[in-house]
Amino acid sequence: MRFQDLLAYQKSISLAMEIFEVSKSFPKSETYSLTDQIRRSSRSVSANLAEAYRKRVYPKHFLSKLTDCDAENSETQVWIEFSFLCHYIDKKTHTELTHRSEEVGKLINFMIRNPTKFGVKTEH
């Protein structure tokens, strides 16, 4: 299995690309703040998932990278909230992006709770 085959990876890439498209309409004044932050955190989820998968032979590193994924996903939710509060996205977009981020979070947490299903050898 490749890391690209992980459902969490696929959904995180899809979410990051949707955020990229939505954030194109943010004001120029947000280019180096909110726009940059939301794009970076959403992309970091996928990148950390790839790194976690490659480190699965080291259980503690695998879990550490997955917790990084979870943290970046939570940060993305904060930026989604700010995007809504600043009126850069409407309520429907806010709800949809938040729901998709929560779904990614559930998949990441499944991986954290079930590392052996992803090829991690547990220490005895």
Decide if 109 is inside a domain: yes
Residue 122 in any domain: the answer is no
21 occurs within a structural domain: yes
- 71 within a domain of the structure (yes/no): yes
Q: Spell out the long-range contacts of 18-27 with Cβ–Cβ below 8 A and sequence spacing 24 or more.
A: 18/97, 18/100, 19/76, 19/80, 19/97, 22/83, 22/89, 22/93, 22/97, 23/83, 23/88, 25/88, 26/83, 26/88, 27/88
Question: Is the pLDDT score of 105 beyond 70?
Answer: yes
Condensed to tens digits (0 to 9), the pLDDT of residues 27-74 reads 999 988 999 999 999 999 999 999 999 999 999 999 999 999 999 999
Quick check: is 120 in a domain?
no
Domain that holds residue 35: 3-115
Look at the chain and report how many structural domains it folds into: 1
The enclosing domain of 61 has a CATH number of 1.20.1440.60
Residue 80 lies in a domain: yes
Global pTM value = 0.94
